Amino acid sequence: MTDFSTPDLSDAAPDARALALALRNFGQVSRFSGEVVTIKCHEDNSLIKQCVEEPGAGRVIVVDGGGSRRRSLLGDMLAQKAVNNRWAGLVIYGSIRDVDEIALMTLGVQALGACPIKTEKRGAGQRDIPLELGGVTIDPGDYVYADNNGVIVSKRPLT
């Protein structure tokens, strides 16, 4: 669903919670939403790689990368897999790379910033666990709505 604005959604759903994070839009799709899959990883995108290889069915991957700006958790190859497997987008508390290529992809991507350095592949991290990001608890199965105004989270679909 791309016909929404997070301010309007938050006005209509006072129980929606906004992430207090300064994320930037990097994907061609600047407004995206979907059911949440969570990943917690630090400077290792092994779990993200596994996740984007699965059918996305319009879901959104929310990644707690610990706010690291030293390694990128998403690049053009993984982003293209996400597009191919129909993920709606990714919200990353960390960095990405290949930003010019990702800007051309029909994918929503919000992240803290960019870093040209790739991650090490150690297979570290956790998936489908509650995350604490920007003052909000995000559970697998919650719903995320992201646009240029920010990211909000809801326990139920808002559109």
Delineate the domains of the chain, giving CATH numbers in brackets.
25-147 (3.50.30.40)
Alpha helix positions (H), the chain: 6-12, 46-52, 76-84, 99-102
Please give the model's pTM, rounded to 2 decimal places.
0.97
- Report percent pLDDT > 90 for the chain: 95
Whole-number average pLDDT of the chain: 96
Instruction: Look at residue 46 in the predicted model and tell me its pLDDT.
Output: 97
Q: How many CA atoms lie within 13 A of 132 on its CB side?
A: 1
User: How many other β-carbons are positioned within 10 Å of the β-carbon of residue 121?
Assistant: 10
Query: Please, which residues bridge with residue 155 across strands?
Result: none
152 closest CA partner among 34, 1, 28 = 34
Out of 2-6, 62-66, 130-134, 136-140, which region has the weakest mean confidence (pLDDT)? 2-6
Over 60: is that where the pLDDT of 134 sits? yes
CA distances from residue 51 to 14, 61, 74, 90, 95 in whole angstroms, order as listed: 31, 8, 12, 11, 17
**Residue 57: φ, ψ to 5°:** 50, 35
Q: What is the pLDDT of residues 58-93, one digit of tens each?
A: 999 999 999 999 999 999 999 999 999 999 999 999
Predicted confidence band of residue 3 (pLDDT cuts 50, 70, 90): confident
